[in-house]
Chains A and B, each alone.
Chain A
Amino acid sequence: MKNVFKTVIGLLLAMLITACGNNGLGEELDDHATRHADGRETAHFSSLVEMTRASDLVVKARVTEVEAGRTVGEDVDAPITFRDVSLEIDEVLFQKGQKVAEGATVTVEEEGWDANGVGYEMNSVAWSRVGDAGYFYLKRKTDVADGNAYRLVHSSGRALIGASPDERSSQPATYIEISGDESRIKDGPWSFLADLEKTGEPSLSKAIRSAAATAEAGGGQ
């Protein structure tokens, strides 16, 4: 019985250690990001309406699964492996082109791992975790067949809303977490946040929905 127990524990440990898997090159993948990459993005937005309009899909959603995805750039000695983040959609706020229904799950490719399996954050977009929930501004990837994969339209295209224990109070603290570099946030589509001090998630939600409605109506151009 003791041997069976040890075997089960050993198998469980082996599963944990290899839980992140390998990339297409056989490298083991880190289970968390230890590096940071800075990249010049192809888009820049000065307002939420602009960022909404440039998106193919804006949703309120939650992360249900994360696993290693495809590897690109294998023809050079510096490939990258994506993290496939599964988003279950609670609400569609804006979309264009191929329609996605509420309740559906879409895949967001997020960076990632380098050629040696080292985990990195791209432009300060923290790795998504199962359970993360909030608003996502998504662009359908043009290099994935069937349009079945997305990426954030910009590094600041994710606003997570969560609750964390607040030791100072019996009430839970809520937080809003905007992805990306602070400089891009302050100089970009969320620059209005400075004016939202002393307001909370309801106002953020209202701003997101208002921008979506404006973009839908073709306004703000």
Chain B
Amino acid sequence: MCRIGGHVAAGLGMAALISLVPSAALASHGNVIEPDNRDHYMDRNSLTADGNLAATYGQGRLDSQTNMRATFDGSGDVEIYDGYYGDTGWYGRTYCADTGSPGECDVFTVQFNNSYMGGLSDSKIRSLGCHELGHTASLNERSSSSDSDNNSCMRVNIWPSSYDSHDVNEINAAVAS
């Protein structure tokens, strides 16, 4: 949320000033919430073929590109679901279902929306998996200004299929301790 605070000084005839004020709504770390450690055990909960494609690709990207040990051999860090959630406006989403220490998450929930997935190509589904599992590894979305070479799957308007060096550094820093 972006609140633009203004001050109307009618007596001076000035127009209201607008300044961008970051929301202080929920997390003290903005929207960044980190995994509790580098071991990232993921559960696939009765996924469809599309959900499985997204999940396995995202797990593979995390495990091969970063210092995280992302695996389906074990459980408890990431619960992955897919379902027909209807016309929600999102292909997939991630949130922390069980918070641990401040700024860390014990259990993430990832949900893919089958109501839209059928309309995506396999390459976009892979990109989506990379994107949503990137959120479980501390990543926020990237904009064109922060990803000028357009190669991060954390973008929202294009569909790259891997993490770029910025993403990898962020993840590795988050799980370094």
Interface residues in chain A, defined as those with a beta carbon under 8 Å from any beta carbon in chain B: 33-44, 72-73, 75-80, 111, 114, 118, 120-126, 139, 141-144, 151-155, 166, 168-169, 171-187, 190, 193, 196-203
Contacts and interface: CB of A to CB of B under 8 A. Distances in A.
B16 to A, nearest CB: 3
B82 interface: yes
Given A44-B157, A125-B1, A182-B20, A143 B87 contact: yes
**Of A80, A118, A154, A196, which is in contact with the most chain B CB atoms at under 10 Å from its CB?**
A80
Contacts of B4: 175-178, 193
Interface stretch (B66-74, B91-99, B169-177): B91-99
Contact of B109 (A78, A122, A176, A197): A78
A200 B81 contact: no
A38 B91 contact: no
Contacts of B94: 37-39
Given A42-B116, A173-B8, A198-B17, A35 B26 contact: yes
Contact of A173 (B6, B87, B135): B6
Contacts of A200: 6, 8, 15-18
B140 interface: yes
Given A186-B143, A199-B18, A75 B84 contact: yes
Contact of B83 (A75, A111, A139, A187): A75
Contacts of B64: none
A123 B141 CA distance: 10
Contact of A152 (B33, B46, B89): B89
Interface of B: 1-11, 15-20, 22-23, 25-27, 31, 33, 45-46, 79, 81-97, 109, 111, 115-116, 128, 131-132, 135, 140-146, 156-157
Contacts of B31: 36, 38, 124, 181
Contacts of A199: 15-16, 18
Contacts of B111: 73, 78, 80
B55 to A, nearest CB: 14
Contacts of B88: 39, 72, 111, 151
B95 A40 contact: no
Contacts of B11: 171
A205 to B, nearest CB: 12
A197 to B, nearest CB: 5
A104 B32 CA distance: 40
B85 A37 contact: no
A86 B91 CA distance: 25
A35 B95 CA distance: 7
B89 A198 contact: no
Given A40-B128, A41-B90, A143-B115, A174 B140 contact: no
Contacts of A153: 89
**Of B79, B84, B146, which is in contact with the most chain A CB atoms at under 10 Å from its CB?**
B84
A79 B113 CA distance: 11
